[in-house]
Amino acid sequence: MIKGFKSIKQIEDFELKNLNVLIGGNGAGKSNFIDFFRLLRSMMELSLPGLQNTNLQSFIKDGGGIHDFLFNGPKVTKEIECSGL
């Protein structure tokens, strides 16, 4: 499940395979779905010895700032949730 990330209000019950194709109209959230996994990768790099959090900081800064990562902004979404990955 992904909840509260950018334009993604909530996605449940998705299964990733070796090859995945994302299909949808403009503004449907395809790029944001991929960006979610880029965010996870940046966060995982924090736990590796010897690495600093510059990748995560750069990812958030390049994405427009932390408020741009929350579904409809901080007034609507207080946190991003993820489970089952």
Q: pLDDT of 4-32, one tens digit each?
A: 999 999 999 888 999 999 999 999 999 99
pTM: 0.76
Residue 55 has pLDDT above 90, yes or no: no
Buried b (16+ CB within 10 A) or exposed e, 24-62: eeeeebeebbebbeebeebeeeeeeeeeeeebbeebbee
User: 9: exposed, middle or buried (C-beta count within 10 Å: 0-12, 13-18, 19+)?
Assistant: middle
Residue corresponding to tokens 């902004």: 73
Instruction: Name which of 1-5, 28-32, 59-63 the model is least confident about.
Output: 59-63
DSSP 25: -
Token couple for 18: 């070796």
